[in-house]
Structure 1
């Protein structure tokens, strides 16, 4: 098993455990509520007829279900892409439970290879997902596809982790961070700014975060610089 396969196996175990043991929008995990930055963008879809949204690394619908609820009355669609079977299965179940099964379309795919047609989406969301593509080259490619796939005046909302560290809380030992792409913060910001040159920057913050996760029944402290980068494409 190579390093990429090992990281993805570990991430699969972690997410499968979360999805099996914590219910969407119930307290107890990060599935409790959608990301505020994403929700703050929903009014921008209000005046668009049949808005089209893409959620890359959608998980079980933490953000895509509230988006679908918002645009349901306008005939919009939310395309949700995730690599994990457990995420797609749970999302299909939750979308029906929350009455948006006709709004959400699920696709099982690696977002690093997912094709995005040009000028298709009014909003593209990627929350804690772009750092899980296989290579740095894939990271740049998906950003270019996101940019090209956005309609004029459409928005890309990116939240991505950088400089990730993992520490065993029992031994205080620093571990190899199980993250496919783990760039220095400045380097990642430079890539974002280069690819989105000419776009209006709506929000750009870097927030140091640390929180406890469980890997193989061991408590792990995860530390990261979380980059939030929200940009609007120029009009034609």
Structure 2
């Protein structure tokens, strides 16, 4: 097993556990509520007669379900892409529970291999997903597809972890970071600004965050500088 396979196996175990033991929109985990930045962008599309959205690395629908609820009367769709069966199976259950199954369309794929159709989407979101592609080269390939897949006046919302640390809470020892891509803020921002040249920047902020997670049944502190990057495609 190579390093990427090991990391993905550990991430799968962590996410499978979360999805099985924590319910969507119930307190106790990061599934408690959607990302405020994502939801705050929806009014930008109030005048759209229809709305096509894609959620890359959708998980169980933390953001997809509320978006689908907001646009279900807009002749809209939310394409939800994830690699984990546990995520997509739960997403299908939740979409029925919240009565948005007609709006949600699931696609099982590694986002590093997923092909975004050109000029297809009004709103593309990738929340804590792009750092899980296999390499910097794949990251750039995926992100370059996002502008091409966006309609005029469409919005891309990227939230990416950078400069991640993992610390054993029992020994205070720094651990190997189990994340495929762990770039500095500077490198990540340079890549994004280069790819999105000419786009209107609606929001760019870096938030230091900490989470208590479990790795191999041990409590671990995950520290990250989370980059939020929101841009709009100008009509040209």
TM-score (norm 1): 0.99
Following superposition, the deviation at residue 29 of structure 1 comes to 0.4
Shift of 1:210: 1.3
Query: What is the CA–CA distance in structure 2 between the aligned matches of 1:47 and 1:71, rounded to whole Å?
Result: 12
Deviation of 1:143 (Å): 0.5
Could you say which residue in structure 2 is the equivalent of 1:14?
Answer: 14
CA distances 1:87-131 after superposition (whole Å, capped 9, x unpaired)? 000000100110000000000000011001111100000000000
The equivalences for 1:48-197 within 5 A come to: 48-197=48-197
Q: Distance in 1 between matches of 2:119 and 2:161?
A: 27
Paired with 2:217 and 2:150, the residues of 1 have a C-alpha distance of 41
- Give me the whole-angstrom Cα distance separating, in 2, the residues matched to 1:138 and 1:180: 11
* Partner SS for 2:50: coil
Q: Which residue of 2 aligns with 1:34?
A: 34
In structure 2, the residue corresponding to 1:166 is in which secondary structure?
strand
CA RMSD of superposed structures (Å): 0.6
> Matched residue of 2:72: which SS?
helix
SS at match of 1:153: strand
Q: SS in structure 1 opposite 2:34? A: coil
Matched residues, number: 236
CA contact (8 A) 1:119 1:148 kept: yes
Question: Counterpart of 2:24?
Answer: 24
- CA-CA distance at 1:54 after TM superposition: 0.3
Name structure 1 gaps, 5 residues minimum: none
Q: Distance in 1 between matches of 2:145 and 2:35?
A: 23
Runs of 4+ in 1 over 2 A off after TM superposition: none
Cα separation, 1, equivalents of 2:90 and 2:10: 19
3-state SS of paired residue (1:54): strand
Instruction: Give the drift of 1:217.
Output: 1.2
User: SS at the partner of 1:73?
Assistant: coil
Cα distance between partner residues in 2 of 1:176 and 1:147:
33
Deviation sequence 1:10-65 (CA, Å, 0-9, x none): 00000000000000000110000000000001111221122100000000000000
1:125-146 per-position Cα deviation (integer Å, ceiling 9, x unaligned): 0000000001110100010001
Distance 1:32 1:210 in 2: 16
Secondary structure at 2:32 match in 1? coil
SS at match of 1:179: coil
- The TM-score normalised by the length of structure 2 is 0.99
